[in-house]
Amino acid sequence: MNNLPMKKASLGILFIAILSLSSCKKNYVCYCEYYTNGTMTTTGTTPFNETKRVAKKKCKDLNDEGNIVFGGMNFHNETRCSLQ
């Protein structure tokens, strides 16, 4: 009996199983817009070499909002980021 086809099939299934269990890191870019008093002032990008789930969380964590007082004036600052 020739078991070669059975061995090849078993190796193929094992290879696919290993690939499906491993998490794939890719390069993702987080695009951010920075606003002061409702007006976009600048933009920026932050690269992440992570799984999509981790990159999405890290990008979301860059979102921020707050007020600062400078020279007696109140400024509302906001950072809005999204994964591209």
State pLDDT tens for residues 65-75.
Answer: 999 999 999 99
pLDDT above 70 covers what percent of the chain? 75
Paired with 83 in beta bridges are 30
In a domain, 16, yes or no: no
- Pair of tokens at residue 39: 């007006």
In a domain, 41, yes or no: yes
pTM exceeds 0.95: no
Instruction: Identify the pLDDT of residue 2.
Output: 65
31, burial (CB in 10 Å: exposed 0-12, middle 13-18, buried 19+): middle
- State how many domains the chain has: 1
Q: Please, what's the largest Cα pairwise distance for the chain?
A: 89
pLDDT tens for each residue of 34-50: 999 999 999 999 999 99
In a domain, 72, yes or no: yes
Per-residue pLDDT for 22 more than 60?
Answer: no
Tell me the residue range of the domain where 73 lies: 22-83
User: Contact 51/23 with Cβ under 8 angstroms?
Assistant: yes
Closest CA to 45 of 56, 53, 33, 35: 33
In a domain, 52, yes or no: yes
